[in-house]
Structure 1
Amino acid sequence: MRAMFGMAPASVRDDIEDALDGAANDADFTAQERAILKNVLGLHDVRVADVMVPRADIISVSAEASLGELLALFRTAGHSRLPVYGETLDDPRGMVHIRDFVDFLASEPSFGLVERATADPTHQKAAEIPELRMDMPLSAAHILRPVLFAPPSMPALDLLVKMQASHTHMALVIDEYGGTDGLVSIEDVVEAIVGDIEDEHDEEDRPGIAAAGDGAFIVEARASLEDVSEAVGFDFSALADAEDVDTIGGLLTAVAGRVPGRGEIVAGPGEFEFEVLDADPRRIKRVKIQPRAAPLRRGPAARVEPEGGAGAEPRRPPDH
């Protein structure tokens, strides 16, 4: 049929996509099956940069951190693997797996865990805990594993194949200057196919969104626009699509045209404005979303119009 009208022959990919679109209203595929199949077909367009955790959100540990510090970080991070660096994250040394860490604690004679467990398997006195040499630096434990390195432009599918072949589930994304740009786990790539994979800890680790009264909300900047839209009752997606951002912090930075400082108030879409509650020079950390008509807090806060909008000069709250 396509040849009859002088059209190029359809590829197998096009045929499958047409079949999926045509099956939208029948029972050939469930909605979940259609979504996964479409994600598989589109995976050739997904790059490492699309699925990576940005540098600012990487939880990592210094090679000279003590084992006690590593234990505390594993407890709070909620990850089984952590990247290890030298002086900075641009000097990666590898990664540490929690299983290797626990095996080291259990088998190292100087820690005395095996002897105590054999002598008294049902009881361990609290007074014995200080005997563990938790001040030992991580580098001295020799439990680091190598990580993969990938450029941001690398196809995510190629990285997945490389991870499978090397049995390495973590890769650092390195920019053209050799600096660390982000981190990708095998789970990040798989989620591009099957959607979000939540474990027992994901719900409690989800960025906070809390009502603050009078229609205002206190939001962690890394909260997704989908979650914020659902909580606030306003769809931020139209502006987000234009700016190519996924989080409320990214949207605020795009609207302001820079990283706003703590205390600044930025006019947002609709009837809302954003007050930056916490930030550093590189990123926003916490934001207050409030109706535009809400009374502004006295102090150093200054209203900032979106970049290119009317009123380029910041406006300060009126004196009362």
Structure 2
Amino acid sequence: MSEPQSSRPPSRGGQKSPAVQARSLLNRLWEFVHPGPDSKRELIQTLTEAEEREVIEPESLQMLEGVLRMAELSAGDVMVAAPRMDLLDIEAPYEELLNLVIDTGHSRFPVFEGQKENIIGILLAKDLLKIQRAPELNLRALLRPVVFVPESKELNELLRDFRSNRSHLAVVIDEFGNMAGLITIEDVLEEIVGEIEDEFDDKGSSSDKSIYTLADGSQRVAGDASIADVNEAFGASFGQDEFDTIGGLVAHEHGRVPRRGEAVEIDGLRFAVMLTRGGAVRWFKVTRSQQPDG
């Protein structure tokens, strides 16, 4: 019995049907009249225009931009730097550990033994409370495994790891294997949805929370600190007409937003970037520029 013949004409040498050719021609014509974005910057501009035409909501635009930015960031860009980490000493008395947990309000703590670089596990605050009801419990038995990630770990990859491992915190190490900082799943999600009030954020946004004195005598200055506050703290005379924050002024002087590890000198002050987040500088380390001997 012969096979039933198809009503569709056979293709010759892989030649496309007239209908497919017509669709392809229409697609090329549409792309010529309305070319798509060729770069991430053009894509963001297209999304911004869509938001202006009320095609998408402002919140959706913020999240989409965050997703695109996150693909360019690594753990080292958004981590909490090692000097700002709150650590627990495994040998410390229970009351001392409990007071630190209460004072800081964190839900998870890296625990070290001997020296702070030697992180042996992660302690959940709720697990520490178990010792109150059962003093015979060994604190070491309550520790959760610690996750170590390199500074170069990409955020989108790190987010997948957090989800698959069901972990919320990782210790970041530098290229030499030293502890560089700490990163949480909240830090990663903030790049998408914006600032989240979590346990690692500084409470309050007043001027007395934007400038801190560090142990070496230098100053840690928030990127969103006002020009007026910086002028008062350093006896500077930066103009306030064009920029409201010190981060905006430094970015203007540098020609772009400086990256972590870069430094910019302005009028006798050296602004070294300590931490960036969401395409902006979160913290500067500010010191006086070295004056040549006269």
Q: Provide the TM-score with structure 2 as the length reference.
A: 0.64
Question: Contact conserved, 1:219 with 1:286, CA < 8 A, in 2?
Answer: no
SS at match of 1:226: coil
Residues of 2 paired with 1:218 and 1:162: CA distance?
35
AA aligned to 2:246 is F
Question: Contact conserved, 2:106 with 2:199, CA < 8 A, in 1?
Answer: no
SS at match of 1:227: coil
AA aligned to 2:268 is A
5+ residue gaps in structure 2?
Answer: 1-28, 214-218, 231-239, 271-282
Residues of 1 paired with 2:109 and 2:221: CA distance?
22
Residues of 1 paired with 2:228 and 2:56: CA distance?
28
Q: CA RMSD in A?
A: 4.0
Question: Contact conserved, 1:47 with 1:152, CA < 8 A, in 2?
Answer: yes
Partner of 1:173: 172
Residues of 2 paired with 1:16 and 1:312: CA distance?
47
After superposition, the C-alpha distances for 1:139-158 in whole angstroms (9 at most, x for unaligned) are 64521111211111110111
Partner of 1:244: 258
After superposition, the C-alpha distances for 1:24-56 in whole angstroms (9 at most, x for unaligned) are 422222322211111112221111111101111
State the 1:109 CA deviation.
Answer: 6.0
Question: Contact conserved, 1:209 with 1:219, CA < 8 A, in 2?
Answer: no
SS at match of 1:255: strand
Partner of 1:46: 73
AA aligned to 2:292 is A
5+ residue gaps in structure 1?
Answer: 112-138, 212-216, 257-265, 270-283, 288-302, 315-320
| Number of residue equivalences | 232
Report which structure shows greater RCO (CA 8 Å, sep ≥6).
2
> Would you say 1:35 and 2:49 are equivalent positions?
no
> Which of 222, 225, 230 is 2:223 aligned to?
225
What percent identity do the matched residue pairs reach? Answer: 26
Partner of 1:154: 153
Question: Contact conserved, 2:211 with 2:222, CA < 8 A, in 1?
Answer: no
State the 1:67 CA deviation.
Answer: 1.3
Partner of 1:263: none
SS at match of 1:22: helix
Identify if the C-alpha distance between structure 1 residues 177 and 141 changes in structure 2 by more than 3 Å, giving closer, same or farther. Answer: closer
Pairing of 1:282-301 with structure 2 (within 5 A): none
Residues of 1 paired with 2:44 and 2:223: CA distance?
28
AA aligned to 1:255 is E
Q: Provide the TM-score with structure 1 as the length reference.
A: 0.60
SS at match of 1:65: coil
Pairing of 1:1-320 with structure 2 (within 5 A): 17-106=44-133, 108=134, 110=136, 140-198=139-197, 205-206=203-204, 209-210=207-208, 219-220=212-213, 221-229=219-227, 231=229, 235-241=245-251, 242=254, 244=258, 255=265, 267-268=268-269, 304=288, 306=289, 312-313=292-293
AA aligned to 2:57 is T
